[in-house]
Structure 1
Amino acid sequence: MDKNLDYKGRWRNKAVAFRVSEEEAKLIDDLVTLSGLTKQDYIIRRLQCRDVVVQGNPRVYKALRNQMADIYEELKRLERCSEANDELLYTIQLIAETMNGLRGESE
């Protein structure tokens, strides 16, 4: 089994796995992409109730742009938003917060 050192010099040789639905997996993948972190680092930070601080870089910008395009297409398709679209609303909120944070960095 591969061993990896974390930022504190500890060996990461234990694997943790869990099952999620397709919708949950997509939401997790979207959140990880928008954070700019690896999936492992994102999940560890969230499980430890630590803040996920997004560092603006071209990869995060590209992820935001792609997510906004997907959201735009979905909104065009919808006539009205219902409770079945909670994931979409959560993603929109996260993108808005991220973009506001990135805008604040340049000021």
Structure 2
Amino acid sequence: MNFQHLEYFNELAETQYMAQAAEKLGISQPTLSYAVKKLEEELGVPLLEREGRNIRLTVYGKVFKEYSEAGVRQIQEGYLAVGDLNVKICLNASR
């Protein structure tokens, strides 16, 4: 599972508009569609119902969104924690 795809899904799940999510993420709409399609293929379930320009989360999408948001948040916190630890270790090493 691709971390970036999870971030893309989270943004799309929040906005529920492909163009708005793609713009906020700084990517093209086809890139965003591809990322969500790959997640759906990997999970084996539809995460979104597409209705023209609008999208809605399926029941699967609603459940996955909770876990995806929590997972991304935890990974981001871990990234910051490792960075903070590295700074502390470097400061102690230079003394």
Larger gyration radius, structure 1 or structure 2: 2
Greater share of residues in helix: 2
TM range, smaller chain: 0.3 to 0.5
Greater share of residues in strand: 2
Structure 2 length as normaliser, TM-score? Answer: 0.32
Structure 1 length as normaliser, TM-score? Answer: 0.29
